[in-house]
Every structure is written in C-alpha cells, then in structure tokens.
Amino acid sequence: MHYLRLCRPPEIHPGRDQPILKLVLTITTDLSDSFLSPPSPIPLHILGAYNETDANGNKALVPVPLTPSPPPVWRAGMRVLKLHLPLPPSTNPKKPRVLETIQIRPADIGLTALSTSDILPGNRGLIMPVYADMPRPGGPGASATPQTCFRSLRIEPCLRPAATGPQQRPQPPALLQIEEDLGESIARHIWDSGVVMASLLTDLCLGGGGGGGGGHGPRGLPLFHDLLVTPPDRRHDGRGRGLNILELGCGVGVVGISLAKILSLRQTTTTTAAAAAATVAVAAGGSPHILITDLPEAEEKAQTNIARQQRGHHAGNAPAPEPASLDFEPLDWTDGQRGVFGPKAGARAWDLAVVCDCTYNTDTIPSLVGTLSAVHRMSAEKSAPGDEAAPEEALAAGAVPAAVDTAVLVATKRRHESERSFFDLMAGEGWVVKESTEVPLPRLGGERQVVEVYLFRKQR
Ligand SMILES: C[S@@+](CC[C@H](N)C(=O)[O-])C[C@H]1O[C@@H](n2cnc3c(N)ncnc32)[C@H](O)[C@@H]1O
C-alpha cells in the first residue's frame, strides 16, 4: 500500500484577501523506503471540516471542498508536493469559521482506502488518505502545533451477513481512527500488516462468510474464526467468560484497538438474525478484554489512540458502544521471556496472544518467542484445574474447566528471509502452525506483496 503523508504540520497563513492553507505532502510505502510512482498522474482531493454554529447555537462539523481547480496531481518521479490553497472566506466576519480537520486523498475513490472492505480485495484501497487536526489559533495549546496526523477507516466487512431477521434502524458506520506521527520517520506509524489485520478481523467477526453465520470463517482461518466468536467456557456454571487477548509489540495500537472495536460491534449488532445469534453467544460469555503492550516509549501514542477510540468515532458522531475492554501496559520482551510481567499482563490467563509485524528484527526474535512461551506457561498455571472449588455436580458432569491453552496469531509482511528464524525458534519451543493464510496487499505497481497470517498452538 501507499500512504499520503504530511511532511510537516499544515499551516494557515493570513493571505491578502483570504487565508492560505499551506501543505507539504508526499506519498510513500509504509516503510517510507520508496515514493509512489504511478503509471498515470493521480489528481488529489482536499476536504476541510469546519466547525459551524447554527442560529440555535448548535455546533456541527460541515465538510467544505478545498481542492483548487485544476486539482493538484501526484506524478511518477515526484518526492514532495507543496500546496498553497486559498481558504473560503467567512461569510460572517464576526463569527469566523474554524477549520477543524482536513482530509487529503486521491480524487478517484476507487484508489482510496476509506473502509476495511477496500483493503482485502487487493485491487482497491491502494492509497491511504491522511487526516490532520488543525492548530487552533489563539485557543488552548495554540503554541503547540500538533506533530501528528491520523488515519480513518470505516469498519465494514467485504461480505455483509445476509439480512434474515427483522431489520433495525441502520447504525452509522463505525470508524477506526489511529493517530500517528507526521513525516517519514518510521517510528510511531501504522504499517501494512496492521491495516490488513484490522480488515481481516472485520471480515472474520462481522462478515457474512463466517462471522456470525456459523460454519467456517472466511479467508482460510476457520480455527481462528471459532476462537474469536466462541466464548471460552471455563466456568462451573457453564456460562463461559469473555475472551482474554494480549497483544505484543502493539506500536500505535491498530490491531488491538480494532479488535476491541470489532468485538464490541459484534456484541452489540442486532440487525440480522445471524448477528443476533452471535450477540447472544458473546453476551453469555461476558465481555472480551484486550491488553495491548509494547516498550514504554510506545505508551503515549497507544494511550492517545485508546482514548480516541473510547471517545467513540462513528460517522455521524453517534456515541459508540464499547463493551470490550481495552488497556495498555508496557511489556519489554527481554522481561517477558523470563516470565516477568506487569500487574495487568500477569493478572489473567490469556486465550490469545497477537503479534503483528514484529518478526523483522532477528535480534529481538528470541526474546519475542521466549515471551510467547512464558505467556503460555503463565496462562496454563493461572488457570490450572483445581485452583477453584468446583461443585460436585459440576465435577461429575465433567464441567471442570481445562487450563487455558494460549493460541498465538502472527501476521507478517516478510521483509527478508532471515525472518524464517522466528518460525524455527517457535517450532523449537513446541509451537505448531495450525492454520495459515496469505492476504494480498493492495498495490499500485511494483511486485506482488502479501501479509502472511499464522495461528500457532503448543504441541501437547
Ligand atoms: C513494526 S512495529 C509493529 C507495530 C504494530 N504491531 C503494528 O502492526 O502496527 C514493531 C513493534 O515492536 C515493538 N518492539 C520491538 N522490540 C520490542 C521489545 N523488546 N519489547 C516489546 N516491544 C518491542 C516496537 O516498539 C514496535 O512498536
């Protein structure tokens, strides 16, 4: 995929007749190691969202196209694009309009990644738009220009479940919004594998090809589909409990946050019979809990993104239901491999550990694998049968829970062959690949690329 990027924060300068919005853009890969070189020029579209107050004092965000005529274009060979855009003057000089947010995307919607359903087909959603909150003139924090931008995707499966039950009022689409740092540095950014995983999870949990419809999950991951949608039944009363998911190396939080959002949506969606059945299943099992972890320096951005998600970003500004709980805790794999966990990671038995795009550095692969095995060990010990007083009838009925057997989901866009050592080390520690799939990446030109997804379990 390619990503529109702001090289520096957008600026508004007072022009002679009207204010001027100054933008410096580029379009690169996720690693920023090459610029987009399209076969034909790509016209761009710039949209502003203004905060306006109506006669009754109600505030609303109003979209206003800011694209000049002719539109700016991105051509092969370009490295940077500088734009000076005159902003529409305020109609009421006493109440100047405030530009809150801008969106920059290809003018051709077919090239643009606007929804998770644009990603999986592999031939659309080739370029990820960029959004930025504008600095507030004179407002709180006016001196601190935001050095961040954000990405926004509607959470929509490629294949919707068949509508077999009574239809409810359609809900506004849910949005996944992830903040990242500006510019081309590769720290604190979103990555292809995370975007693909968010899209795959949407299809698995909310799609018609298996999410809620019973049968096998789509995309060749039936075991993983079942793990996500069937509550683990470990309680003596047989009601099950919520799924516990631990993410390692979460970065800005794309995968864990989308999991929380998607599992919440699955839990609250009742527009179809299939989804209603799923609602009952998950509700009976309690709410899922997702803990995302990374090095301490990743915490600030991950927490910002958790807060962004919990504010609820539905298109149409409707409040978002969030039954799945979501939290962050630092976890360095050099500690994890020795079984040293923080209070949050150490508090639960984890049904699933998720690792996305973390296997590219051969130096850290041994501690990552060691941490996965230590999580498995701790989870089994924490949940070992006999640590709770089971009623005799439950014992007789064989309802005593089994120890939690942590599964591991790994997604990777392989960058070099040495990543093979991750799979060798996993095999050496008794981890077995139970199923796998390849998801092609949307790509404009260049070689075909895929994100590989693996579900591991420990050999018994
Ligand atoms: C390429 S990023 C992937 C981020 C995220 N999983 C995604 O797909 O967007 C790799 C992540 O691994 C984390 N990481 C690297 N070494 C680590 C370690 N020793 N302990 C914990 N996290 C580590 C980095 O901080 C970084 O966030």
**pLDDT tens-digit map of 352-373:** 999 999 999 999 999 999 999 9
Residue nearest to atom 10 of ligand 1 (CA): 358
Structure tokens at 62: 């109003």
Predicted confidence at residue 272, as pLDDT, reads: 45
CA distances, 424 to each of 315, 353, 358, 365, 369 (Å): 44, 18, 15, 10, 10
Q: Is the peptide bond before 343 cis (omega within 30 degrees of 0)?
A: no
Percentage of the chain exceeding pLDDT 70: 79
Tally of CA atoms within 13 A in the half-sphere of 351 that contains its CB? 20
**What's the rounded mean pLDDT across residues 165-186?**
73
DSSP 8-state code for residue 92: -
3-class SS at 338?
coil
Give Cα 250 distance to the centre of its chain.
10
Average per-residue pLDDT in the chain? Answer: 84
Which ligand 1 atom is nearest residue 197's CA? 8
Contact 425, 371 (CB under 8 A): no
Q: Measured from the CA of 411, which atom of ligand 1 is nearest?
A: 8
- Which of 2-16, 194-208, 398-412 is predicted least confidently? 398-412
pLDDT digits (tens, 9 = 90+) for 218-231: 567 999 999 998 86
Query: Torsion-angle region of residue 94: left (phi > 0), alpha (psi -120 to 50) or beta?
Result: alpha
| Residue 390 confidence (pLDDT) | 44
The average pLDDT across 151-168 equals: 72
Q: Regarding predicted confidence, which is higher, 54 or 204?
A: 204
Give the model's pLDDT for residue 56.
79
Q: What is the pLDDT of residues 305-359, one digit of tens each?
A: 999 887 765 555 455 556 889 999 999 999 999 999 999 999 999 999 999 999 9
Ligand 1 binding site (Cβ under 6 Å of any ligand atom): 190-191, 193-194, 249-251, 254-255, 294-295, 298, 332-334, 356-358, 364, 367
**Residue 304 to residue 209: CA distance in whole angstroms:** 33
Q: Is 215 helix (H, G, I), strand (E, B) or coil?
A: coil
Query: How far is 230 from 167, CA to CA, in rounded Å?
Result: 24
pLDDT surpassing 70 at residue 283: no
Q: Are 215 and 208 in contact (CB under 8 A)?
A: no
